[in-house]
Amino acid sequence: MSIRTYHPRGGRLSGRHHDALDRLHDVYGLAVAELPTPLDLAALFGRTAPVVLEIGFGMGDATAAMAAADPGRDYLVVEVHTPGIANLLSLLERDGLTNVRVAVGDALDLARRCLPEESLDAVHAFFPDPWPKSRHHKRRLIQPTHVALLRSRLRRGGRLHCATDWAPYAKVMLEVLTADPELVNTHDGYAPRPAYRPETKFERRGVRAGRPAIDLIFERR
């Protein structure tokens, strides 16, 4: 049995969010466990375009903003947090976005079973759970075997972009990503936050608590 890199969370849903789930899941939503192998990305989005895989999008505000500003690429985004999924669905409808599909389930399972090698333009892993206790480090998303899997799904020149506000995890991320033989750092160490990644409420809370965000952007050779 594989070890989960996430902690399934429920949460209260507003009436608006219940409505979004009921009406919009069949429009934008997917269940990872039910996806075919391999997944036909062109058929999924109705066009042939570069695809970004985003792992864990929180409440989805940043995801919607990135997709709106980047209409030439399609966003396959994965989350397990029901209120966040519902919120993103409502944002997609509000903004009329057609370049996002919302997968519910395990992102690593999606990558492993459904995504062909070299099928992605980018992978975004913004603020994954740092699992700070030593006994939980095995649950971290950014570790060698997971990075090798995600990197294999990137095209040559595709980018793996991570961000965290947990400095010890950032250090480990840098070590793991640097050690991958097919990834090269696009900066000397950590990267400045690029303009395309919006600052989130979660990130601003971390800054106020003395935990500034740290970005790492690596490219597949």
pLDDT confidence of residue 59:
94
Express each pLDDT in 49-77 by its tens digit. Answer: 999 999 999 999 999 999 999 999 999 99
- Delineate the domains of the chain, giving CATH numbers in brackets: 29-220 (3.40.50.150)
User: Alpha-carbon distance 165 to 210, whole Å?
Assistant: 9
Of 17, 3, 101, the C-alpha closest to 52 is 101
Q: Catalytic residues, which ones?
A: 129
Residue with tokens 């840098």, as numbered in its chain: 174
pTM of the model: 0.93
pLDDT at 200 (0 to 100):
87
**Which residues of the chain have a pLDDT value below 50?**
1
- Cα(12)–Cα(208) distance, integer angstroms: 26
* C-alpha span between 34 and 66 (Å, rounded): 27
